Amino acid sequence: MVGDRRVAGAGAVKRRRGAVRVEKKTKSLSSRRWLERQLNDPYVQAAREEGYRSRAAYKLIELDARFGLLRRGAKVVDLGAAPGGWSQIAAQRVKASRPGGGKVVAVDVNPIDALEGVTFLQADALDLATIAPIQAALGQARADLVLSDMAAPATGHAATDHLRVMALCEAALDIGEALLTPGGAFVAKVLKGGTERLLLERLKRAFRTVKHAKPPSSRVDSAETYVVALGYRGTGEAPDAPG
């Protein structure tokens, strides 16, 4: 069974009515629940079988099916990329490893293992100085798509978590507005209740269409959802030279 090896030594695993249960031994209740959820999650199992680095890969697959985001040859910036599931999907779909294919620039504060067709930058998206190296990695070309699956560790305090996610979303939009080509698209993780009024107004000014979407693989008990903005109005100017 997928995952059995990880559990070895941490508590026994039992199957009851098709579902995997982790027996009480050394694990705390919350880590047993997390482990059971992982072991019983079809997306976790599918990700393992299909070689994706995260179950999150399916969220991008589903968003792409609905909004047609990832075209062959597209230049993509993936913010909050670790461990790399979204970058894998993006690199496959824009054909980043093929001649004439697209480009994927992935950014995270944490490192990732190298991925074919992906340029990785270990950097903080909240820092505006991160824009210049992304631009350089894009070869000074504009991006067709800026993705942000960035998330800060949950504090359990809803208002604090909301503020943190909004700050990450705003930083992603700063990067999007600096780098997107006219007609480009922007996707960012937000929390239920959607984007804050000011951010939503900013998105509506900058893009022709703004929608919220919760992909089926996003856990129902998770407050996350995504804002998808299409048709960047942009300036049409060449990006500024990195400072």
Ligand X SMILES: C[S@@+](CC[C@H](N)C(=O)[O-])C[C@H]1O[C@@H](n2cnc3c(N)ncnc32)[C@H](O)[C@@H]1O
What is the C-alpha to C-alpha distance for residues 173 and 205, in angstroms, rounded to an integer?
A: 12
Rule CB under 6 A: say whether 165 interacts with ligand X. Answer: no
Rule CB under 6 A: say whether 93 interacts with ligand X. Answer: no
- Name the pairing type of β-strands 207-213 and 180-191: unpaired
Exposure b/e, 116-148, CB count within 10 A at least 16 = b: ebbbbbebebeeeebbeebbebbeeebbbbbbb
* Residues of span 167-206 touching ligand X by CB under 6 A: 168
What is the C-alpha to C-alpha distance for residues 172 and 35, in angstroms, rounded to an integer?
A: 31
Identify which of residues 80 and 184 has a Cβ nearer to ligand X in the complex.
80
Amino acid identity, position 147: L
Size of residue set near ligand X by CB under 6 A: 24
Whether residue 27 lies in the annotated active site: no
Identify which of residues 85 and 102 has a Cβ nearer to ligand X in the complex.
85
Chain mean position to CA 124: 15
Task: Choose which of 32, 53, 93, 142 interacts with ligand X (CB under 6 A).
Answer: 53
What is the C-alpha to C-alpha distance for residues 238 and 18, in angstroms, rounded to an integer?
A: 57
Rule CB under 6 A: say whether 83 interacts with ligand X. Answer: yes
What is the C-alpha to C-alpha distance for residues 183 and 191, in angstroms, rounded to an integer?
A: 26
- Residue among 189, 192, 211, 214 flagged as catalytic: 189
In angstroms, what is the minimal distance from the CB of 153 to ligand X?
8
Rule CB under 6 A: say whether 46 interacts with ligand X. Answer: no
One symbol per residue from 122 to 151: x for binding ligand X (CB under 6 A), - otherwise; what is it?
A: --xxx----------------------xxx
Binding site for ligand X (CB under 6 A): 53-54, 56-57, 79-86, 107-110, 124-126, 149-152, 168
Q: Which residues are catalytic?
A: 189
